[in-house]
A = this chain, B = another copy of it.
Amino acid sequence: MRRPDQQTTTRPTTGPAPGTGTGTDADATVGPPPGKAEEQDRHPTGTGPTAEGHPAGDLTTEAVLAPYLRGQAADFLRSLRLHHEHSAPAESGGHDAAAATRALRRAARRISGSLHTFRAALDPHWADQLRAELAWLSGVLAREHAYANRLTRLVEALHQLSGPALPAARGARAAGEAAASDAQGRAALGVGAARAGALLERRLTLARTRSHSAALQALGSSRFHAVADAVALLASDVPLAPGTTGRTAEALLEPAERAEQRLLTAVAALPPADSEPYNEAQDAAWHQARLLLRLHRYAHEVVLGAAAPSLASCGHALDLHRDAVEAAAAAAAAARTPRIAPATAYALGVLHADQRHEVEAARAVFRETWPYATALTAP
């Protein structure tokens, strides 16, 4: 992330970076003063409570994007400091460290997303490099969180699937036979469910522990220090695209609209609902829609200064979709453990199917809550 003609330093510099742009009347703001840190959380552009929205004529990189990026960079750095504070060996601040990690990821995603969407308004080489490195960092930090969530989800699902003991069927003669064998089925599931839960616990806890170590290692690596340096530089100085690109009015509107259009196109292309519950082939399209929705939301934050309220439910449904897809895969993978008992494999099969149906349910929620007139292929 080393920029031409700049030394690497962790102290924010003031004024426009040399060699970037023509030195016009850019607002050379230096980032928010320390006292405005909290306001920054509420106003992602980082320019404080006066920036409720942006008149179209001000949608230039300097007026809007640069403050946003600087604000996110400051969030990143603050979260990093908090993480250091709560990760000291004497500290039992598991929660605080986790919260700091979440905030770190949150800022990293927003910087990364903006570098992608508004690349044309920025120094492209620098943007590509920083984006790649932030993607690496986000992945490393997210993995531990993902394994923890996955285990919780699967254990909870197994618990529900094992269920309370089946009450004796009364009266319905035709159901008597079926009920009796269902009770046996439920009991068999109970034995296998306990073993399946233990197996998943072992596997996912191991994976989580490894991810935790990898995250700590990453945060201490020189690669990470380079990222932190680059973000620190970003906190005071945003490398703009050479020439006049991005300095014109509405320079940001076009990329934001493209981001929205990519999202709408991807959603319109989502496979329709069908009765076939085993459609892992469709997962990729839904993952893509989730990423594009995120990019659109971030672009919305940049350009309009606030989150897009109507997309909260959709986004949440896509997150649940992703969680269920991964949980189903984890159950299937566990079933391939050599020498497990048939009852354990049976329970994992039930669990896999259950999570695939959660995948379908999440898709249905998405279709119901998708607010735009884009014709979702009718089920």
Distance of A332 Cα from B290 Cα, bound (Å) = 36
Distance of A307 Cα from B361 Cα, bound (Å) = 37
Judge whether A333 and B287 touch: CB under 8 Å.
Answer: no
CB distance from A80 to the nearest CB of B (A): 24
How many residues on the A side are at the interface (Cβ–Cβ under 8 A)?
A: 63
CB distance from A374 to the nearest CB of B (A): 20
- State which residues 136-194 of A face B: CB under 8 Å: 160-161, 163-164, 166-167, 169-172, 174-175, 178-179, 181-186, 188-189, 192
Distance of A290 Cα from B332 Cα, bound (Å) = 36
User: Which residue, of A166, A181, A335, has the highest number of chain B Cβ atoms within 10 A?
Assistant: A335
Instruction: Give the copy number.
Output: 2
Closest to A189 in B: B332
Identify whether the interface residues of A are mostly helix, strand, loop, or mixed: helix
Quick one: given A172-B288, A340-B342, are A332 and B278 in contact (CB under 8 Å)? no
Judge whether A276 and B160 touch: CB under 8 Å.
Answer: yes
- A-B CB proximity, top 3 nearest: A349-B349, A185-B332, A353-B353
Using a CB–CB cutoff of 8 Å, the interface residues on chain A facing chain B are: 160-161, 163-164, 166-167, 169-172, 174-175, 178-179, 181-186, 188-189, 192, 275-281, 283-285, 287-288, 290-291, 322, 325-326, 328-329, 332-333, 335-336, 340-354, 357, 361
